[in-house]
Amino acid sequence: MGILNVTPDSFSDGGRYLGAKDAVARADDLAEQGADIIDIGGESTRPGAAPVDADEEIRRVVPVIREIVRRRPKVPVSIDSCKASVADAAMGEGAAMINDISGLRDPAMLDVAARWNAPVVIMHMKGTPQTMQKRPVYRDVVGDIVAFFKERIHLCEKSGIEKIILDPGIGFGKTARHNLEILNRLDEITRLGYPVMVGASRKSFLGKTLGLPVEEREEGTLAAHTIAVMKGAAIIRAHDARKNLRAVRLAESVLKSAKP
Active site residues: 203, 237
Using an 8 Å Cβ cutoff, are 12 and 4 in contact? no
Using an 8 Å Cβ cutoff, are 140 and 98 in contact? no
User: Would you call 153 helix, strand, or coil by DSSP?
Assistant: helix
Q: Which residues, at least 6 apart from 5, have a Cβ–Cβ distance to it below 8 Å?
A: 12, 13, 14, 16, 17, 41, 44
* 123, containing H or E segment: strand 120-123
- H-only helix segments in the chain: 20-33, 54-71, 84-92, 107-116, 141-159, 176-184, 186-190, 204-210, 218-230, 241-257
* 41, containing H or E segment: strand 38-41
3-state percent helix, strand, coil for the chain, nearest multiple of 5: 50, 10, 40
